[in-house]
Structure 1
Amino acid sequence: MPHRRSYHHGNLREALIEAAITLIEQSGPHSFSLAEAARRAGVSAAAPYRHFKGRDDLLEEIARRGYVEFAETMERAYADGRPDPLAALARVGERYLQFSRERPGYYMAMFESDISITAHTELYAAEQRSIGLLIRASEALAERLPKDDRPPSRMVANHIWAMSHGVVELFSRGKQGARSPISAEDMLSSGVTIYLRGLGLLGPADQPRAGG
């Protein structure tokens, strides 16, 4: 456990954030308290109030950081749609699942904490970076269709996001998906394929494989 010198060195804010992330990973975003984070950081229960108004303020900062890192990860995966938007979209899906596994504390703060995204400007901006990437991917895929036949890009993006989140929930933390003979990646890929093909965004031979 970190001890009080973290505070004296001016790192209390970061120590509290790291402590809270660990607590979220252990028991979820609703179960930890600011006092528990303070104990784990090795400071008094009053010390966190130098940096955070309360528990929700700390949770919002973790969610904000999570969304920023998430958006950067998704943007690197998409790589401006190279070599083609379908392959790029497949990479994005794989990175979505990877982020949920590797950064569970952030992921839970982002999606399971019930904080209001639209009520916080920085949170909203970070979240829109991620959905914006899926919108760009949807627009690129729709270019093969006549303009009047193209589905709304935000609708497509939201549906793909919902599928990704659903797969994470199905496979996360010992849930029933962990016993499935189908991997999370294959389940997401097949679901996105069926959806996009139904919208006419894929040809008969197209498959959203990450590849190169």
Structure 2
Amino acid sequence: MLLLLTYVRRINFRKRLTSKKSDQPMTKPKVQKKSGYHHGNLRGQLTAAARQLIEEQGPDGFSMSDACRLAGVSTAAPYRHFKSKEDLLTEVAMDGLARLGADMEKNASGYPRGTVESIAAIGRAYVQFAIREQHTFRLMFSTKSHAGRIEELKSVGRNSYGVLLQEVARYLGEDGITEEVMRASFPLWTQVHGLSFLAIDGKLDVTDFPVDIDQSILLASERLLPPRPAPQGS
């Protein structure tokens, strides 16, 4: 999905977008303090703390010590799970990709499966995630901080992308992820991915008219999807 104009218009757009029934609520990651700390949840605590700091300060705006302080653990604790800050950033990116996949699946499940509407709902969830967690979204698609774990990141990303592939397969009546499914899915992803970056970069003002994101995604889905195959025997 390589594909949002002044400051006020961006705020108005976000208000319109978050008023839709399919929106995911904006939530801060829950970071347990030291009283709730034990070895079993250290990785999750640090990931949640880093995610919060990334959204507040950007990935370059905090240190491992800041993440430890927010998580309520010692400065030596992260190195039981993460070799470096970059390793922790990759964990946040993978967590983001997994949560994005879950959001897309949840949105699609609110509509009849294998329909234009369910496919458009996946696209809306994608753009909504990007707007809600802008720094995390950028991190998810950056290669700068993930050099040592790029294959792990790609694997989680493929699982997330698989939500779209499976929905398009249902639409086409295919039993699995065929070449036709992949061909039909790629333009859908590039449309919403590009739209996401236009949104978070504040570039939608170039149109000089209010942009209805939901309607744009629905129209693009209708036009980019191939015709449904005729039922056998018809």
TM-score > 0.5 by shorter chain: yes
Which of 88, 91, 106 lines up with 1:76 in the alignment?
106
Conserved 8 A contact 1:167-1:187: no
Deviations 1:157-187 (A, max 9, x none): 22211211111111116x1227850122233
| Structure 1: runs of 5 or more not aligned | 145-149, 203-212
Distance 2:217 2:39 in 1: 45
The answer for the alignment partner of 2:77 in structure 1 is 47
> Does residue 1:176 correspond to 2:203, yes or no?
yes
> Does residue 1:120 correspond to 2:146, yes or no?
no
Distance 1:132 1:18 in 2: 25
Identity level (%)? 29
Conserved 8 A contact 2:32-2:72: yes
Where relative contact order (Cα < 8 A, 6+ residues apart) is larger, the structure is 2
1:28-107 to structure 2, matched below 5 A, reads: 28-79=58-109, 82-104=112-134, 106-107=136-137
Which of 196, 201, 208 lines up with 2:227 in the alignment?
201
The answer for the alignment partner of 1:164 in structure 2 is 192
Q: CA deviation at 1:27?
A: 3.3
Deviations 1:7-44 (A, max 9, x none): 56865433322221122112333443323322433444
Conserved 8 A contact 2:123-2:192: yes
Q: State the TM-score, normalized to the length of structure 2.
A: 0.64
Distance 2:132 2:173 in 1: 34
| Structure 2: runs of 5 or more not aligned | 1-30, 229-234
RMSD: 3.6
Distance 1:15 1:158 in 2: 35
Residues 83/119 of structure 1: CA separation in 2 closer, same or farther (3 Å cut): closer
Q: CA deviation at 1:104?
A: 4.0
Distance 1:112 1:131 in 2: 16
Conserved 8 A contact 2:131-2:199: no
Conserved 8 A contact 1:4-1:43: yes
Residues 193/156 of structure 1: CA separation in 2 closer, same or farther (3 Å cut): same
Partner AA of 2:203 in structure 1: Q
Residues 156/37 of structure 1: CA separation in 2 closer, same or farther (3 Å cut): same
Conserved 8 A contact 2:104-2:125: yes
Question: Which deviates further from its counterpart, 177-186 or 16-25?
Answer: 177-186
Distance 1:63 1:171 in 2: 20
Residues 7/77 of structure 1: CA separation in 2 closer, same or farther (3 Å cut): closer
Deviations 1:184-209 (A, max 9, x none): 2233333333333xxx437xxxxxxx
The answer for the alignment partner of 1:24 in structure 2 is 54
Distance 2:38 2:68 in 1: 14
The answer for the alignment partner of 1:206 in structure 2 is none
Conserved 8 A contact 2:53-2:62: yes
Q: CA deviation at 1:66?
A: 1.8
Residues 186/51 of structure 1: CA separation in 2 closer, same or farther (3 Å cut): same
What is the aligned residue count?
193
Q: State the TM-score, normalized to the length of structure 1.
A: 0.70
> Does residue 1:185 correspond to 2:214, yes or no?
yes
Distance 2:77 2:149 in 1: 29
